[in-house]
Structure 1
Amino acid sequence: MTQSSCPAPLPRRSVSGVDLAVSITALVLTVAMIATAAVLGFFSLAFLDHCPPESCSEEGAVDAVFNAVLIAAAIGAAGLVVTIVQLARRRRGWPFAASTFGLCLVTFVLGGVALNMAVT
């Protein structure tokens, strides 16, 4: 009888507990930031009645808030998927989760600048 020449499977590398904790924390903070920014952005739109009509663009303000929230939600969803895939492959996921948080933060800062420009 001949034996099969299949190599033994390599042992799977375990996911670091710190990597998993940092990834989960960053993603939870990202979701919390998106939810908070959405509420604050929509709340700020509720008080646009006091802005002067000659320099205020209600349409620009609405566009700034909606675009910032939608773009951040898309970034958050993509970052969540990439982080989960990386962790499933037993690779580092925290850089992707932290980058997702950072990109969402930058998106909301730019959305706030756009909102400020629309109402002043």
Structure 2
Amino acid sequence: MTAPIRRSGADIAISIAVLVLTVLIGGAAAVFGLFLLAFLDHCPPATCSIEGAVNAVFTALLVAAGVGLTGLILTVIQLVRARPGWPFAVGTLALCLLTLFLGGVGYSAAVG
């Protein structure tokens, strides 16, 4: 008979909290991106690319969602294996923030 797997309560709590924060930031970014796109009607055509702005926002949101889902899966796998999951959760948050930041840079470049 094998001993039961010991899981760290702190690791589970930190992983869950960071992943929930990632989802909340993603949701806020989606709402913010929608508002940015909703008010593009004052964009001067000489210096503004509406298509570029839409592509920047949607690409950033889709990539962040993919990174978030992948990070969630990897974190859960680590937690099920009774290995530290928080580095994966924190890495997921960091990569999602980086993706959203780069999407903001792309949006800014598109609207000039």
- TM-score w.r.t. structure 1 length? 0.91
How large is the RMSD of aligned CA atoms in angstroms? 0.8
Sequence identity (%) = 55
* SS, match of residue 55 in structure 1: coil
Q: Which of 9, 25, 31 is residue 17 of structure 1 equivalent to? A: 9
C-alpha separation in 1, matches of 2:92 and 2:111 = 29
Deviation at 1:51, TM superposition (A): 1.2
Counterpart residue type for residue 99 of structure 1: G
Bigger helix share? 2
* Partner residue, 2:89: 97
Mark the structure with the bigger radius of gyration.
1
Q: Which runs of 4+ in 1 moved over 6 A?
A: none
Q: Provide the C-alpha distance between the structure 1 equivalents of 2:21 and 2:106, rounded to a whole number of angstroms.
A: 23
Shift of 1:117: 0.2
Aligned length: 112
- 1:49 matched to 2:41: yes
**Structure 2: distance between partners of 1:95 and 1:15:** 15
Structure 1 segment 55-94 matched on structure 2, within 5 A: 55-94=47-86
Matching residue of 1:29: 21
In structure 1, what residue type is equivalent to 2:9?
G
The runs of 5 or more residues in structure 2 that have no matched partner are: none
Please give the alpha-carbon distance, in whole angstroms, between the structure 1 residues aligned to 2:4 and 2:77: 15
